[in-house]
């Protein structure tokens, strides 16, 4: 009787989990496995019969390929501009909104609006903003600054797109930081006030340490997000001018779905995935460490 | 809690913040104001503060919007996207919800190991597998079909995990009582489990909608040229058409943004909670 019941719950479990499992295997697990396998072959989708095993050749090829290296370097540049700007911007906005007492709700909504707009929409909008005779150049003109080419110049296109991306994304991390700020025990600040701590001391000794795990989380997610950059350059510049905004994921996309060189694209995708996985592992270790310490502290005080 | 009278410092902070928010939102304000203007008016207003002020209400106020809705297929693209979002919300809740329930409550072989695998799959970025999925869909002859677009998007390790975390705290005795009443497990799931978990169902629905509505890469691969385009891809084909004026472009991107603003206004609580929970879960 009991065994029969066990077997029927097993069947029920598999029946509930089954549809998801089939789709997971077909559209997530198998593609991952094939990406890894294809990265060791010269698979060309327009002529699949001529596929050979080539070992690590694709990996040597891409790291000698000027375009891939340029795309990689551009991606790093995006990360270097976006990550500090977006993380610090989000923290500052969250601190200000946490402090403001009038129309708090309006400010929360106002800075979050670009987050709900899509990448394609924001890119199309900022193409108009950045246009040579556009509103931004007009505003700069009033400040006595000459018209800038923005996305139409090889030196300014990348920073222009990076700033736009920060503008769009900063509200998301702001909301995360606000949640963290509101979770800090107010008694900590009250105690500090009794010791006549200055605003800066309170920030340095209470707010920052309390927010540290959240900072790690925000830092890593923004880094991964910047690493995945593709839609903005695709819509705004097509990767140009002269490949100055061509990114790693853009290269994967073009090599795989435009040139059909699945083998090469797969090896690029594996390199890209390795970076994302390493970043995620770093985040897990850093936050785990903190949790362990917290747990130890708690057991000690008990 | 606070005294009614505000301290001067608070008022100054609020005023500074308000100016900052205006500066922050200048592209959006400019977009809204100029979506009602002709290109001649946009250029003429550019040098004055009128660039941020909509034109006077008159007969031609909505011309850009009317032109886009009548002369292009944009309305159809929006309806398409709503339709895809509706299908993906329903299928996503059923497939991921059932899986989440199995992983939370039903004892079946290797359950804990599946949970671990799902958590690991959450790390994989879509960009890694998009090429192979495109190849799959192309080989199956499903390019430019609704199936080809929807099939790979139904399952989400993240949503399975989210459902599991919520279902795991549901009481067991209801399930046992339901079994005594010979309630079928499927019926129990739809009539008891889902209604008891309205918050997570709402969160998953809202994020699925926003994901489908705002997605660009996958629909741009699957739909090349057809009546099936989503709004985001349609936006690209409309704005890259030389006949489209700047005002019309701004009208299109305003219209495409309106549904997400409405969703945000209705579900801001769920969205903010969802965003904050991604932070607190990891942090």
pLDDT digits (tens, 9 = 90+) for B96-130: 999 999 999 888 888 889 999 998 888 888 888 99
Chain A partners within 8 Å of B44 (Cβ): none
State whether B34 and B115 are in the same domain: no
State whether B117 and B215 are in the same domain: yes
Domain of residue B15: give its range. Answer: 8-67
Specify if A19 maps to a domain.
no
End-to-end Cα spacing for chain A = 46
Specify if A288 maps to a domain.
yes
Domain of residue A140: give its range. Answer: 67-301
CA distance B39 to B246: 6
What's the average model confidence in pLDDT over A14-23?
Answer: 91
Instruction: List the structure tokens of B223.
Output: 């739909």
Nearest chain A residue to B256 by CA: give it: A121
State whether B122 and B23 are in the same domain: no
Specify if A1 maps to a domain.
no
Confidence of residue A223 (pLDDT cuts 50, 70, 90): very high
Strand positions, DSSP E, chain B: none
Residue in the block written with tokens 């006549």: A196
Specify if A28 maps to a domain.
no
CA distance A40 to A267: 7
pLDDT at A121 > cutoff 70:
yes
Specify if B211 maps to a domain.
yes
Interface residue of A6, A111, A121, A275 to substitute, partner B, most B CBs within 10 Å: A121
CA distance B39 to B243: 12
What is the structure's pLDDT at B99?
94
Contact B135 A45 (CB under 8 A): yes
- Nearest-neighbour CA in chain B from A177: distance (Å): 8
Q: Where are the alpha helices (H) located in B48-110, listed in sequence order?
A: 63-71, 74-105
Q: Domains in chain A: how many in total?
A: 1
pTM of the model: 0.88
- Nearest-neighbour CA in chain B from A195: distance (Å): 23
Hey, how many other C-beta atoms are within 10 angstroms of the C-beta on A132? 12
Nearest chain A residue to B152 by CA: give it: A27
Q: What is the mean pLDDT of chain B?
A: 86
Chain-centre distance of CA A21, in angstroms? 27
How many inter-chain contacts (A to B, CB under 8 Å) are there? Answer: 258
What is the structure's pLDDT at B221?
92
Non-local (6+) Cβ contacts of A77 within 8 A are A158, A162
- CA distance to A80, A229, B221, per residue, from A223 (Å): 9, 10, 25
Specify if A131 maps to a domain.
yes
pLDDT at B209 > cutoff 90:
yes
Contact B260 A117 (CB under 8 A): yes
- CA distance to A209, A213, A285, A295, B122, per residue, from A288 (Å): 15, 9, 5, 10, 18
Instruction: List the structure tokens of B134.
Output: 């495109």
pLDDT digits (tens, 9 = 90+) for A246-299: 999 999 999 998 889 999 999 999 999 999 999 888 888 887 766 566 555 555
Q: Where are the alpha helices (H) located in B25-62, listed in sequence order?
A: 26-34, 39-45
Confidence of residue A88 (pLDDT cuts 50, 70, 90): very high
- Phi first, then psi: what are they for A53, rounded to 5°? -80, 125
pLDDT digits (tens, 9 = 90+) for B212-271: 999 999 999 999 877 899 999 999 888 888 888 888 999 999 999 998 888 888 888 778
**A53 SS3 class:** strand
Contact between B235 and B16 under an 8 Å Cβ cutoff? The reply is no
Q: Domains in chain B: how many in total?
A: 2
Output the domain CATH number for residue A222: 1.10.3720.10
State whether B30 and B132 are in the same domain: no
Contact B235 A120 (CB under 8 A): yes
Specify if B76 maps to a domain.
yes
Interface residue of A86, A97, A126, A135 to substitute, partner B, most B CBs within 10 Å: A135
Closest Cα partner for A214 from A185, A172, A173? Answer: A173
Chain B partners within 8 Å of A270 (Cβ): 128
Interface residue of A2, A5, A26, A28 to substitute, partner B, most B CBs within 10 Å: A28
Specify if A143 maps to a domain.
yes
* Percent share of chain B, pLDDT over 90: 41
Specify if A227 maps to a domain.
yes
**A198 SS3 class:** coil
């Amino acid at each position: 009787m009991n065994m029969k019941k066990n077997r029927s719950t097993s069947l029920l479990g598999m029946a509930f989990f089954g549809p998801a499992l089939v789709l997971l295997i077909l559209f997530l697990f198998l593609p991952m496995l094939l990406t890894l396998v294809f990265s060791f072959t010269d698979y060309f989708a327009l002529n699949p019969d001529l596929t050979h095993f080539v070992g690590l050749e694709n990996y040597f090829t891409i790291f000698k390929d000027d375009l891939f290296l340029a795309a990689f370097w551009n991606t790093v540049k995006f990360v270097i501009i976006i990550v500090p700007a977006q993380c610090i911007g989000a923290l500052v906005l969250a601190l200000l909104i946490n402090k403001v007492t009038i129309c708090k709700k309006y400010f929360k909504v106002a800075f979050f609006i670009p987050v709900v707009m899509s990448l394609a929409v924001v890119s199309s909008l900022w193409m108009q903003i950045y246009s040579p005779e556009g509103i931004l150049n007009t505003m700069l003109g009033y400040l006595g600054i000459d018209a800038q080419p923005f996305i139409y110049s090889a030196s300014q296109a990348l920073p222009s797109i990076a700033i736009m991306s920060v503008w769009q994304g900063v509200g998301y991390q702001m909301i995360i930081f606000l949640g963290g700020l509101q979770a800090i025990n107010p008694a900590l600040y009250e105690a500090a006030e009794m010791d006549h701590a200055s605003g800066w001391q309170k920030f340095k000794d209470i707010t920052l340490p309390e927010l540290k795990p959240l900072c790690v989380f925000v830092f890593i997610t923004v880094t991964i997000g910047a690493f995945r950059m593709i839609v903005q350059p695709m819509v705004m510049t097509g990767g140009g001018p002269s490949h100055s905004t061509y990114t790693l994921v853009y290269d994967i996309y073009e090599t795989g779905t435009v040139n059909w060189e699945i083998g090469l694209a797969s090896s690029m995708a594996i390199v890209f995935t390795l970076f994302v996985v390493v970043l995620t592992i770093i985040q897990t270790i850093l936050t785990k460490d903190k949790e362990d310490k917290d747990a130890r502290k708690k057991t000690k005080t008990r | 809690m606070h005294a009614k009278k505000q301290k001067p410092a608070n008022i100054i902070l609020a005023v500074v913040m308000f100016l900052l928010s205006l500066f922050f939102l200048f592209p959006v304000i400019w977009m809204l104001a100029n979506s009602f203007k002709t290109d001649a008016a946009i250029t003429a207003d550019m040098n004055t503060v009128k660039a941020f002020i909509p034109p006077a209400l008159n007969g031609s106020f909505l011309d850009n919007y009317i032109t886009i809705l009548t002369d292009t297929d944009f309305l159809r693209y929006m309806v398409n996207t709503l339709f895809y979002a509706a299908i993906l919300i329903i299928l996503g809740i059923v497939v991921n919800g059932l899986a989440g329930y199995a992983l939370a409550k039903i004892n079946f072989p290797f359950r804990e190991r599946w949970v671990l695998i799902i958590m690991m799959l959450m790390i994989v970025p879509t960009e890694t597998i998009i090429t192979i999925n495109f190849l799959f869909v192309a080989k199956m002859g499903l390019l430019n079909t609704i199936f080809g677009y929807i099939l790979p998007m139904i399952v989400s390790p993240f949503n399975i995990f989210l459902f599991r975390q919520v279902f795991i705290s549901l009481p067991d005795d209801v399930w046992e009582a339901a079994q005594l009443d010979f309630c079928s497990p499927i019926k129990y799931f739809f009539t008891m489990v889902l209604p008891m978990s309205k918050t997570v169902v709402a969160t998953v629905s809202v994020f699925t909608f926003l994901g489908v509505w705002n997605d660009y890469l996958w629909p741009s691969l699957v739909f090349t040229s057809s009546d099936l385009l989503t709004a985001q891809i349609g936006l690209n084909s409309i704005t890259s058409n030389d006949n489209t004026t700047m005002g019309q472009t701004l009208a299109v991107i305003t219209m495409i943004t309106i549904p997400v603003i409405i969703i945000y206004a209705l579900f801001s609580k769920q969205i903010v909670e969802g965003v904050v929970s991604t932070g607190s879960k990891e942090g």
